[in-house]
A = this chain, B = another copy of it.
Amino acid sequence: MSGEDAPAQQQNAVDQKQETKPTEEPKSEPPKTESAPAGAAEAAATPAATTEKVPEEETFTYRALVLTGYGGYDKVKLQVKKGKPTLKAGEVLVRVKACGLNFADLMARQGLYDRLPSPPVTPGMECSGVVEAVGEEVTDRKVGDKVMVLNRFGLWQEVAVVPANHTFLIPEGMSFEMAAALPVNYITAYMMLFDFGNLRPNQSVLVHAAAGGVGIAATQLCKTVKDVTVFGTASASKHEAITQGGVTHAIDYRTKDYVEEVRKISPKGLDIILDPLGGSDTHKAYNLLKPMGKLITYGAANMLAGQKKNLIAVAKNWYHQFSIHTLSLIQGNKSVCGFHLGYLDGETELLAQVMNTILDLYKQEKIKPRIDSTWHLEQVGDAMRKMQERNNIGKVILTTEPMPEEEKKEETKKEDKKEDKKKDDKKKDDKKKDDAKKEEKKDDKKKEEPKKEEKKEEEKKEETKKEEK
């Protein structure tokens, strides 16, 4: 697997040129029937291929997940790519071993994340792997280095070309799955808690989706500070897991009003609230802050309802979007912060500092990513579904390991059932839409002083929706 002997031919993630056309069933596309995609990748990746000295520059292929258009889980397709990469100065080629799934990937699939270029494009903002080639001017990475990678997109494929300063050396003994689970969640949780949040002993923190990737990272990081109380929301079935992970008070947001639950225990409110939800939950968070409290909002998960873009959910999120005047902040002595790692990609030095701190904490065994499940590239749809339907506890990982033949046959059987699943999904989506509509009506009634401008915004969205119909 010596990278220099067998330079991987690959499209630049930014300037993607598809040499294979996206089809419904990627498996039927490659020459060697069903096993071909994995086979092709093996050819490029195994030492055997190198020793034979075939003209690899021309035959080199690798598998890549490609978002072919905005929509449901089936819009991310497994394709086989050909192409000779020309590494620019400062870049490295990484043979990818494992990739992390993030909420932004789910948003991106629905067209709700503006840091991903238009389809067709390969998603994926974190992975782990082995350096297979280095470009000019790269001095601190060498062929064979095990690295984790953070990039704006383009990492859900077997080989990826990235700037060397987007890679971080994997500590001794850390698995590729673990390494792929670490960067996005832990950097996000760390910067929110310790940069914006300025977390100190004896403080209280609310962690939404405490069983999710960021939630688990945040809980572990909270426990590195003395006597911090962590309120964590999750459905009841996950309470044992999050409590063992460090959550002090687990709250079932599906059956209880989390604001009331927090007030029962902490009547004065909280010091730090991490808000991945957006919309009306941001308002609730703001009101739950103590004086000198910090609200850190880092997403709009409330926008996601169903596997396709749900315009009602999006409109509702906009309608309820939190906006704050300085006078209110001054009188409340409060802080409102926004965080998203996807918009920090220019801050390589800052991110490297944070990553080093996080890796130190890992080496001291103070933090450890929790893997929920690992999926083959062929299974990316199911992997996304698991995360989006919030059935995961911890990180959902993709592996580039070839899928064993027997599993593939299993998968084929599943494929037959997929049509049924699709129907189910549609039903679910329709139900969610109905629910959203109902709740919206309820909310509208509740809402005091509706702002005309925001209403217009909503009406616009509604119109767009009609047009699309």
A residues at B contact (CB < 8 Å) = 191, 195-196, 198, 278, 282, 291-292, 294, 297-300, 321-340, 343-344, 346-347, 350, 451-453
Contacts and interface: CB of A to CB of B under 8 A. Distances in A.
A300 to B, nearest CB: 8
Given A291-B343, A344-B291, A329 B333 contact: no
A164 B370 CA distance: 51
Chain A contact residues: helix, strand, loop or mixed: mixed
B325 A321 contact: yes
A294 B299 CA distance: 19
A2 to B, nearest CB: 39
B321 A329 contact: no
Given A292-B191, A292-B195, A343-B291, A332 B327 contact: no
Contact of A330 (B326, B332, B338): B338
Given A191-B292, A196-B335, A337-B335, A330 B350 contact: no
Contacts of A282: 326
Nearest to A191: B292
B333 A340 contact: yes
Contact of A329 (B334, B337, B346, B453): B337
Contacts of A330: 297-299, 338-340, 343
Which 8 interchain pairs have the tightest Cβ spacing?
A329-B338, A330-B338, A335-B337, A198-B198, A322-B326, A297-B326, A330-B340, A323-B325
Contacts of A333: 338-340, 343-344
B326 A278 contact: yes
Contacts of A334: 337-338
A328 B338 contact: yes
The residue in A335, A340, A452 that gathers the most chain B C-beta atoms within 10 A of its C-beta is A335
9 contacts: A292-B347, A297-B330, A323-B323, A324-B324, A326-B336, A328-B338, A332-B343, A334-B338, A451-B453
Contacts of A335: 196, 294, 335-338
A191 B350 CA distance: 24
Number of copies: 2
A431 to B, nearest CB: 28
B336 A336 contact: yes
Contacts of A452: 453
A332 B346 CA distance: 12
A106 B98 CA distance: 62
Contacts of A339: 330, 333
A340 B337 CA distance: 18
A150 to B, nearest CB: 15
B338 A332 contact: yes
A193 to B, nearest CB: 11
A328 B322 CA distance: 11
A198 B191 CA distance: 12
Contacts of A343: 291, 330-333
A278 B334 CA distance: 16
Contacts of A278: 326
A364 B265 CA distance: 40
The residue in A196, A294, A298, A452 that gathers the most chain B C-beta atoms within 10 A of its C-beta is A196
A327 B112 CA distance: 12
Contact of A324 (B195, B332, B336, B451): B336
Contacts of A196: 198, 292, 294, 335
Given A333-B343, A334-B337, A337-B335, A325 B322 contact: yes
Nearest to A339: B333
A453 B315 CA distance: 22
A330 B336 CA distance: 10
B336 A327 contact: no
